Amino acid sequence: MSGLAARVAAPDHRRDRQAEPFLRIEHVSHRFGGFVALDDVSLSIERGEFFALLGGSGSGKSTLLRILAGLLEPDAGRVVLDGQDMAGVPAHARPVNMMFQSYALFPHMSVAQNIGFGLRMEGAPKALIRERVAEMLALVRMEGLGERRPAALSGGQRARIALARALAKRPKLLLLDEPLSALDKNLREEMQFELQGIQDRTGTTFVIVTHDQEEAMTMATRLAVMERGRLVQVGTPGEVYEYPNSRFVAEFLGTANILEGVVESSGPDGARIGCADLGLAILYDAPAPKPAGSRVFVALRPERLAIARAAAEEPRVGENRLSGRVRDIAYFGDFFMYHVALEGGRTIRVSQPNLRRITGRPVDWEDAVVVSWDRQAAMVLPE
Partner 1 sequence: MSGGPGRALVLALPAAWMLLFFAAPFAIVLSIGFAEPAEGIPPFTPPWRVGEDGAIALRPNLANFALLLEDPFYAEAALRSLRVAAISATLCLLIGYPMALAIARAPEGWRNTLLMLVVLPFWTSFLLRVTAWIGLLQDQGWINGALLGVGLIEAPLTLLYTDLAMYLGITYCYLPFMVLPLYAALSKLDPALLDAASDLGARPWRAFLHVTLPLSLPGVVAGFLLVFIPAVGEFVIPELLGGPGAQLIGRVLWTEFFQNRDWPLASALAVVLLLVLVVPIAAFQSRAARDAPR
Name the residue nearer to partner 1 (CB basis): 79 or 350.
Answer: 79
Stretch that binds partner 1, among 44-52, 88-96, 242-250, 343-351 (CB under 8 A): 88-96
CB of 135 to partner 1, least distance (A): 17
Residues binding partner 1: number (CB under 8 A): 26
For 311, which DSSP code? Answer: P
Contact between 117 and partner 1 (CB under 8 A)? yes
Interface residue with partner 1 among 9, 19, 91, 138 (CB under 8 A) is 91
Q: What string of H, E and C letters represents the secondary structure of 131-148?
A: HHHHHHHHHCCCCCCCCC
Asked whether 225 and 233 are in contact (CB, 8 A), the reply is yes
Name the residue nearer to partner 1 (CB basis): 138 or 152.
Answer: 152
Asked whether 262 and 274 are in contact (CB, 8 A), the reply is yes
Phi, psi of 45 (to 5 degrees): -130, 135
Asked whether 221 and 50 are in contact (CB, 8 A), the reply is yes
Contact between 206 and partner 1 (CB under 8 A)? no
Nearest Cα to Cα of residue 378 among 4, 2, 3:
4
CB of 147 to partner 1, least distance (A): 13
Interface residue with partner 1 among 93, 128, 308, 330 (CB under 8 A) is 93
Phi, psi of 69 (to 5 degrees): -75, -20
Stretch that binds partner 1, among 19-27, 98-106, 232-240, 250-258 (CB under 8 A): 98-106
Residue 231 parent element (H or E): strand 230-235
CB of 378 to partner 1, least distance (A): 45
Stretch that binds partner 1, among 48-56, 113-121, 279-287, 310-318 (CB under 8 A): 113-121
Rounded (10°) angle between helices 185-202 and 126-139: 130
Name the residue nearer to partner 1 (CB basis): 122 or 314.
Answer: 122
Interface residue with partner 1 among 108, 185, 356, 357 (CB under 8 A) is 108
Interface residue with partner 1 among 118, 156, 179, 289 (CB under 8 A) is 118
Name the residue nearer to partner 1 (CB basis): 38 or 96.
Answer: 96
Q: Which residues of 336-349 are buried (b: 16+ CB within 10 A; e: fewer)?
A: bbbbbebeeeeebb
Contact between 89 and partner 1 (CB under 8 A)? no
Interface residue with partner 1 among 38, 64, 98, 342 (CB under 8 A) is 98
Contact between 69 and partner 1 (CB under 8 A)? yes
**CA distances for 42 relative to 67, 80, 229, 245, 305, angstroms:** 13, 11, 11, 17, 36
What number of other Cβ atoms are within 10 A of residue 187's Cβ? 15
Contact between 265 and partner 1 (CB under 8 A)? no
CB of 203 to partner 1, least distance (A): 21
CB of 148 to partner 1, least distance (A): 11
Name the residue nearer to partner 1 (CB basis): 33 or 315.
Answer: 33
Interface residue with partner 1 among 17, 33, 34, 151 (CB under 8 A) is 151
Nearest Cα to Cα of residue 35 among 228, 224, 230:
228
User: With the CA atoms of 138, 141, 145 and 151 taken in that order, what torsion angle do they form, in degrees rounded to the nearest 10?
Assistant: -130
User: Contact positions toward partner 1, by CB under 8 A?
Assistant: 69-71, 90-93, 96-98, 100-102, 104-108, 117-118, 121-122, 151, 165-166, 169
